[in-house]
Copies of this chain bind each other. A is one copy, B any other.
Amino acid sequence: MHRFFAAPSDIGAEIIQLSQGDSVHIRALRLRPSEYFIVCDGHGTDYICRLGKHDGGSVAEIMETVPSLGEPSFDCAVFIAFSKGAKLDIAVQKSVELGACRIILFPSERGEKADMKKIPRLQRIALEAAKQSGRGIVPAIMVEDTFGSAATYAASADFPLFLYECESETTLRSTLVDYSTGQSVSIFTGSEGGFTDREADIAKSSGMTSVTLGKRILRCETAPIAALAAVMYHTGNL
């Protein structure tokens, strides 16, 4: 079923006020009266709807209310260093599909400077990925101004995983073996060229666990996707 998101303030007891964009999109789908679509409130509730007959078709009539099924059983934040080109787009899109609850961008020595102009575009990519994959929330795209503040934020999770290519001992598996259902995870990943020694020191002293993703060197956009897939697999969410 096609999926849309609406602000809770636009959701009434019987009808939902659709945004202009969604209303145009739904009419373009030329759904038959018997064909339903989903409007999600972005807070874990799905409304099974059909297009309303009044207001020029800009409202949805609620037929049934059900919990969103697309949310994982735990909170997993993905921290990604600012980098060039389409790498951020891919990392954000796939992280949302795989179940990240929010994505936090941060500057790093070998990456790009923080660029707030990228945020609206990445938030749109997150919205589209959330619609397509059936998420119950639209993960927020957030920015931390410094590497240090990002590290401190990431370290507040129960399992803060610092993906570090110079780590050779501690694997993701050996770390997650202590995972208990419901604990939160953060995945912290660098730009092309990885992290400097200084950044690794900050990350570890913040309380993150430095982990390797094995013997192959993954591209900067592949590392968070692979780590997130592994964490979702480990926790029974894949």
Q: A residues near B, CB below 8 A?
A: 69-70, 90, 93-94, 97-99, 132-135, 171-173, 213-219, 222, 225-227, 229-230, 232-234, 236-238
Question: In the docked arrangement, what's the CA distance between A90 and B89, Å?
Answer: 13
Q: Are A214 and B237 in contact (CB under 8 A)?
A: yes
Question: In the docked arrangement, what's the CA distance between A134 and B215, Å?
Answer: 8
CB distance from A92 to the nearest CB of B (A): 12
CB distance from A69 to the nearest CB of B (A): 5
CB distance from A103 to the nearest CB of B (A): 16
Q: Are B135 and A216 in contact (CB under 8 A)?
A: yes
Instruction: Check A133/B233 contact, CB under 8 A, given A98-B226, A213-B238, A226-B98.
Output: no
Q: Are A214 and B232 in contact (CB under 8 A)?
A: yes
Question: In the docked arrangement, what's the CA distance between A237 and B216, Å?
Answer: 9
What are 5 A-B pairs with beta-carbon distances under 8 A? A94-B225, A97-B219, A132-B217, A172-B233, A172-B238
Of the candidates A93, A97, A171, A222, the one having the most CB atoms from chain B within 10 angstroms of its own CB is: A222
Residue from B99, B218, B227 within 8 A of A216 (CB atoms): B99
CB-defined contacts of A229 to chain B, threshold 8 Å: 225-227, 229-230, 233
Question: In the docked arrangement, what's the CA distance between A67 and B216, Å?
Answer: 14
Q: Are A216 and B97 in contact (CB under 8 A)?
A: yes
Q: Are A70 and B216 in contact (CB under 8 A)?
A: yes
- Nearest residue, chain B, Cβ from A234: B233
CB-defined contacts of A135 to chain B, threshold 8 Å: 216
Q: Across chains A and B, which 10 residue pairs bring their CB atoms closest together, nearest first?
A: A229-B229, A230-B233, A226-B229, A133-B216, A214-B238, A69-B215, A70-B216, A133-B217, A134-B217, A97-B222
CB-defined contacts of A219 to chain B, threshold 8 Å: 93, 97, 132-133
CB distance from A3 to the nearest CB of B (A): 9
Instruction: Check A97/B173 contact, CB under 8 A, given A229-B230, A230-B229, A233-B233.
Output: no
Question: In the docked arrangement, what's the CA distance between A93 and B86, Å?
Answer: 14
Of the candidates A93, A172, A219, the one having the most CB atoms from chain B within 10 angstroms of its own CB is: A219
